């Protein structure tokens, strides 16, 4: 009986000891690995045979803060010439964690797909048309062909690029790079950028 009666006091001492020994860890800075801070469109002119002409030129959108509340992204104007055909490659990166996200997108090409929308690609007056030209003939959009009308109805427009993740790529209509109802194929948006388009 006597030992039982000591128990509360033992427990109390144990409690006091454990209470004083339990405190939070020191915080550690995290590199935001998921964030996309830079998207670059690299254009190279193609001739009629499909061979590259001249040197590549690029336009980019960047948001150094990533997703946190802060400044809005800086987006370049995309300037292209009427009547020309370009190869367009998209480079996606995370400058915070120093990661090449294009590589990850290529690795998970079955889960990702770019769509090309806005007045630049959609509608009867659209001056641009896009076709996928990725390695292995898949519909991904890391690499593709952009054709500019010879006499476009519009010489400015919105070039909207959407990257979908975890979509059903076999969904009816999803093979169209300018599929407006891309949400119906499921998944979520990883990127949604609108570049101003200027045609010379």
Q: How far apart are CA 51 and CA 30, in angstroms?
A: 44
* Residue from 94, 6, 91 nearest 44 by CA: 91
Tell me the residue ranges of DSSP E strands in the chain.
38-46, 52-62, 74-75, 78-80, 85-94, 99-100, 112-117, 128-132, 143-148, 156-165, 188-199
Residue 121, Cα to own-chain centre: how many angstroms?
A: 18
The single residue among 77, 107, 110, 135 that binds other proteins, judged by CB under 8 A, is 107
Least separation in angstroms between residue 191's CB and other proteins is 6
Q: Is 68 in the site for other proteins (CB under 8 A)?
A: yes
The total number of residues shown for the chain amounts to 200
The single residue among 90, 120, 174, 191 that binds other proteins, judged by CB under 8 A, is 191
The single residue among 52, 57, 67, 110 that binds other proteins, judged by CB under 8 A, is 67
Identify which of residues 83 and 186 has a Cβ nearer to other proteins in the complex.
186
Q: How far apart are CA 37 and CA 105, in angstroms?
A: 15
Query: Do the bridges between strand 78-80 and strand 188-199 make them parallel or antiparallel, or are there none, so unpaired?
Result: parallel
Identify which of residues 148 and 174 has a Cβ nearer to other proteins in the complex.
174
Least separation in angstroms between residue 81's CB and other proteins is 26
The single residue among 47, 81, 100, 104 that binds other proteins, judged by CB under 8 A, is 104
Checking phi first, is residue 116 left (phi over 0); if not, alpha (psi -120 to 50) or beta?
Answer: beta
Identify which of residues 197 and 199 has a Cβ nearer to other proteins in the complex.
197
Q: Which of residues 79-98 bind other proteins (CB under 8 A)?
A: 96-97
Identify which of residues 129 and 194 has a Cβ nearer to other proteins in the complex.
194
Residues near other proteins, by CB under 8 A: 1, 4-5, 7-8, 11-12, 14-16, 18-19, 22-34, 36-37, 39, 61-63, 66-69, 72-73, 96-97, 101, 104-105, 107-108, 164-166, 168, 183-186, 188-193
């Amino acid at each position: 009986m006597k030992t039982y009666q000591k128990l509360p006091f033992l427990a109390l001492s144990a409690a006091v000891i454990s209470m004083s020994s339990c405190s939070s860890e020191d915080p550690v800075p995290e590199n935001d690995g998921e964030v996309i801070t830079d998207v670059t469109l690299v254009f190279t002119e193609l001739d009629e045979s499909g061979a590259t002409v001249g040197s590549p030129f690029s336009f980019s959108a960047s948001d150094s803060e990533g997703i946190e509340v802060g400044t809005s992204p800086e987006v370049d104007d995309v300037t292209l010439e009427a009547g020309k055909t370009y190869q367009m490659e998209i480079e996606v990166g995370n400058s915070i964690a120093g990661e090449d996200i294009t590589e990850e997108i290529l690795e998970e090409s079955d889960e990702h797909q770019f769509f090309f929308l806005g007045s630049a690609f959609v509608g009867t007056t659209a001056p641009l048309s896009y076709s996928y030209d990725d390695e292995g003939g898949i519909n991904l959009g890391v690499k593709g062909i952009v054709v500019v009308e010879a006499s476009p109805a519009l010489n400015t427009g919105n070039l909207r690029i959407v990257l979908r993740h975890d979509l059903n790529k076999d969904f009816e209509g999803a093979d169209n790079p300018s599929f407006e109802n891309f949400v119906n194929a499921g998944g979520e948006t990883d990127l949604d950028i609108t570049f101003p388009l200027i045609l010379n």
